[in-house]
Amino acid sequence: MSDLRFFFHPRAIAVIGATDDKTKPGYHLLKKVMERAARDGGSVYPVNPRTAEIVGVKCYPTLAAVPGDLDVVVVMIGDAEQGLRDAVAKKATFCIIFTAGFSEIGAEGAARERELSRIAAEGGVRLFGPNTNVNAFELFPDLPGKKIGLITQSGHQGRPIAQGVDLGIGLSYWAPTGNEADLEAADFIEYYVTHEDTGVIAAYIEGFKSIPRLRVAAEKAARAQKPIVLVKVGRTNAGARMAMSHTGHLTGADDVHDAFFKQYGIVRVDDLDELLETSALLARLPKPPGDGVCIYAISGGTGAHMADMCEWAGLRLPPLMNETQNQLHTLIPDYLTVSNPVDNGAQPVRKPGQNRWLIEQCLDDPSCDILVCPITGVLPSMSKIVATDIVDAYKSAKKPVIVIWGSPVVDEDGYRILVEGGVPMFRSFRSCVIGIRRYLDYWKFIDSFEERTAPDVSAGAELPEGSGPLSEDEAATIAEHFGIPFARRALVEGGIEAGMAAGELGPTVVMKACGRGILHKSDAGLVRVGVSPDEAGPLFDELDKLGREYAGDGGYDGVLVEEMVDDGEEVIVGVKNDPQFGPVIVFGLGGVFVEVMRDVSRRVVPLTRGEAEAMIREVRGFPLLDGARGRPKADIDALADLLMNVSHMATALGNRLQELDLNPVRVLPAGHGVIALDALLIRS
């Protein structure tokens, strides 16, 4: 990995295609590079055979003519491949290709992009782009406090975040990565993790190039407690299509992305306003002392509205202590509510010092962990006082303080005071409560963060050669090697044998036709339940005949006789091999919860124990497992063990496992374990 310090702060940089024509991008981009170099003390070398000088700087006819070593070469000519070859010949460290017309336009462009990657890799040059710009050399003011490191796969989509400096939000660097033929978002995440002044990593992502690289970078960010906040395009088919046409990235299955983000503490937001506001919140505030939110408002209506929004977002509004309420009522009339939200009625705001004292009383209350101060309509006579007191409270750093500036008026003293004071600010109630929810969830993730280690799977079974499905008995046998418990069963080939097996497994059993050519036994009428030993023999002939006809050349093994298990709650556990993320585990309650409500949780393999437990608890039907309406509590520990063993199995089998479906699984009452009753395993 090349040292990205010399990408952002090149000691010597050449621009191929620089021009003195002010109507062309080459002129303005050269000026930007020169401004950055002037601050960093680097040298800039324009390259253009048609001119001797640009903006007072000597211009060179070829890159080879440039003296000395180069950290960065910027290619701004149509023949990007030749520009890259020149950079390789010059032994530059980095090459930025501004030129577009590669994978974002289809197969032909993708082939040209692969050729760029090959040239760069063989020549030892790290490639940035193509289809990018030189916003990496944007000059940002050195504002106080932790800063945001920005990564965008679209230069334009990063502009609103970069303009956050006008709101006093500091940025350290901006990496507009473009098509990521070589250097990718994960490389810059890792760099920002090591950069001391960067406190939060903000990103606009259309698709990840390498999930293994992202996994490593995200784990490093979690270990360093540096939040990653991102917009990820591809929630809808329309978004996915546009991302493909824009940068050639595969967006992947959106629900799998969400599962991955949850596992690695990545904060996903929906738009660029949220990206800026949430990133700034996480950069400016330390870990909260707790999750109790207190609302301090100058209007009862504002407080009621905020309370409603907080409950909608799942935020906790604990009542303030009676002692605190009595203190507040020394300045606030008794007819106003001060339990939480606190309505000061705007009266103390008019007297210097009183409003600040009230804010301090709220912050001193042990039930208040985060103070939110919403300001809606602007009255200049009050907003300046309120804003000054909020800034003073924020700077005292007792507890997190957040403000909402809900007015469309920004040309006002109160707004200016808040911006200059660096208080975390939101522009709407909704964005504020969502931002706080994400802030709390991030620190909850950090508190439960577990280092992920590869499980020991050496004792597991191997899949038979070939692709396609295995029979249920084969699938169950392999799963049992990984500690997955199945109902007792016997594969029989005759009626007498079926009757004997039923007698051993009874009093009643399940009988199924079994074979690699039989995938959906119930739909084909190849399953019978509640079969007695006396019925098993005659039923064998019927199932055997139907099974052979259904399986055809797909493969038929015989009839499976299995013990009946009616106790407990029914769940499903599955694995699907995602083309980007690898094995993904799916968990849900059986029946209507999965088929109609699609009530499932997902995680990317490998799981930690905490993630397995979280998967179980986050489905909406979890109360049925937790003893709702008089049901016995299910064996949650055994179910978590099952999910962990399925994770080990998926890890061991790797890409050879295309799909695993354990459906149904019976979760027995606490202390009695779990039993899988059916299995479908498909090999890649």
Tell me: do 103 and 232 sit in the same domain. Answer: no
Measured distance CA(260)–CA(306) in Å, rounded: 31
* Average pLDDT of the segment spanning 97-103: 91
Mean pLDDT of 559-563: 97
Query: What global pTM score does this model have?
Result: 0.92
In this prediction, residue 596 has a pLDDT band, given cuts at 50, 70 and 90, of: low
- Flag whether pLDDT at 366 surpasses 80: yes
Burial of residue 629 (number of CB atoms within 10 Å: 0-12, 13-18, 19+): exposed
Q: What pLDDT, on a 0 to 100 scale, did the predictor assign at position 125?
A: 97
Angle at alpha carbon of residue 104, lines to 78 and 177, rounded to 5°: 80
pLDDT number for residue 250: 38
> Does the N-terminal peptide bond of residue 507 adopt cis geometry, omega within 30 degrees of 0?
yes
Map tokens 């418990």 to a residue. Answer: 485
Do residue 589 and residue 652 come from a single domain?
Answer: yes
Query: Distance between alpha carbon 434 and the CA centroid of its chain, in Å?
Result: 16
Work out whether strand 342-343 and strand 267-269 pair parallel, antiparallel, or are unpaired: unpaired
Verify that 340 and 396 share a domain, yes or no.
Answer: yes
pLDDT level of residue 26 (50, 70, 90 thresholds): confident
Q: What is the CATH number of the domain that holds 493?
A: 3.30.1490.20
Contact in structure between 80 and 130 (CB atoms under 8 Å): yes
- Could you report how far apart the first and last alpha carbons of the chain are, in Å? 33
Q: Which of 128, 154, 172 is the last residue of a domain?
A: 128
pLDDT tens, residue by residue, 550-559: 999 999 999 9
Whether the CB-CB separation of 204 and 154 falls below 8 Å is answered with yes
From its phi and psi, is residue 17 left (phi > 0), alpha (psi between -120 and 50) or beta?
A: left
Q: For residues 207 and 232, what is the distance between their CA atoms, to the nearest angstrom?
A: 7
673 Cβ partners below 8 Å, 6+ apart? 485, 635, 638
Token pair of 499 as six digits: 């009757």
Per-residue model confidence as pLDDT tens digits over 611-655: 999 999 999 999 999 988 888 999 999 999 999 999 999 999 999
Same domain, 236 and 168: yes
Task: Looking at the structure, tell me whether residues 497 and 573 fall in a common domain.
Answer: no
Q: Are residues 558 and 575 in the same domain?
A: no
**What is the per-residue pLDDT for 455?**
65
Residue 550, domain extent: 488-563
- CB–CB of 339/292 below 8 Å? no
- pLDDT (0 to 100) of residue 629: 80
Strand pairing category for 94-97 and 126-128: parallel
- Judged by average pLDDT, the poorest of 106-120, 415-429, 580-594, 666-680 is 580-594
CATH code at position 665: 3.30.470.20
Cβ contact 611:580 at 8 Å:
no
pLDDT at 459 over 80: no
* pLDDT for residue 377: 73
Residue with tokens 């992202």: 214
Q: Which two tokens stand for residue 158?
A: 């990063």
Q: What is the Cα–Cα distance from 195 to 11, expressed in whole angstroms? A: 19
- Summarize pLDDT for 219-236 with one digit per residue, the tens: 999 999 999 999 999 876
Is residue 537 one of the residues assigned to a domain?
A: yes
pLDDT at 522: 87
CATH of the domain at 117: 3.40.50.720
For 172, the token pair is 């350290």
What does the pLDDT look like over 254-298, one tens digit per residue? 889 999 999 999 999 999 999 999 999 999 999 999 999 999 998
274 and 297 belong to one structural domain: no
Identify the bridge partners of residue 279 per DSSP, sorted by sequence position.
none
Q: Which of 128, 152, 170 is the last residue of a domain?
A: 128
| Number of structural domains in the chain | 5
In this structure, the answer to whether residues 411 and 523 fall within a common structural domain is no
381 pLDDT higher than 90:
no
Q: Which two tokens stand for residue 251?
A: 């967006």
Same domain, 407 and 443: yes
The verdict on residue 403 lying in a domain is yes
- Please, what is the average pLDDT of the chain? 92
Question: Is residue 244 scored above 50 in pLDDT?
Answer: no
Residues 316 and 385 in one domain: yes
Report the percentage of the chain scoring pLDDT > 90: 79
Final residue before a domain boundary, out of 282, 301, 331 = 282
Note whether residue 482 is domain-resident.
no
Assigned domain for 410 exists: yes
Length, in residues, of the chain:
684
pLDDT reading at 242 higher than 50: no
Residue 388 in any domain: the answer is yes
pLDDT value at position 460? 64
| pLDDT for 389 | 93
CB 88 within 8 A of CB 73: no
Does 574 lie in the same domain as 537? no
Residues 413 and 545 in one domain: no
Calculate ∠ Cα 78-79-85, nearest 5°: 145
Contacting residues for 162 by C-beta, under 8 A, at least 6 apart: 135, 138, 140, 150, 171, 174
Residue 365 inside a domain? The answer is yes
515-535 burial, b at 16+ Cβ within 10 Å, e below that, comes to: bbbbbebeeeebbbeebebeb
Q: 502-522, pLDDT tens digit by residue?
A: 999 989 999 999 999 998 888
Q: What separation in angstroms does the CA of 387 have from each of 24, 278, 609?
A: 45, 20, 46
The string of DSSP codes covering 121-166 is HHHT-EEE-SS--SGGG------SS-EEEEEESSHHHHHHHHGGGG
Answer left, alpha or beta for residue 664, where phi above 0 means left and psi between -120 and 50 means alpha.
Answer: beta
Q: Is 64 exposed, middle or buried (0-12, 13-18, 19+ CB in 10 A)?
A: exposed
The CATH number of whichever domain residue 431 belongs to comes to: 3.40.50.261
Q: pLDDT tens digits for 40-96?
A: 999 999 999 999 999 899 999 999 999 999 999 999 999 999 999 999 999 999 999
Under 8 Å between Cβ of 439 and 281: yes
Residue 252 has pLDDT above 70, yes or no: no
Asked whether the CA dihedral 51, 54, 59, 62 is positive or negative, the reply is negative
Q: How far is CA 513 from CA 107, 242, 491, 536, 570, in A?
A: 47, 47, 9, 13, 22
Element (H, E) at 169: none
pLDDT digits (tens, 9 = 90+) for 412-455: 899 999 999 999 999 999 999 999 999 999 999 999 998 877 66
pLDDT of the residue at 458: 62
- For the beta carbon of residue 450, count every other beta carbon within 10 angstroms: 11
**How far is the C-alpha of 460 from the C-alpha of 463, rounded, in Å?**
10
Mean pLDDT over residues 469-491, rounded? 96
Contact 572, 538 (CB under 8 A): no
SS3 267: strand
Is 476 within a domain?
no
Query: From CA 291, how far away is CA 437, in angstroms rounded?
Result: 9
pLDDT score for 246: 38
pLDDT level of residue 249 (50, 70, 90 thresholds):
very low
In a domain, 171, yes or no: yes
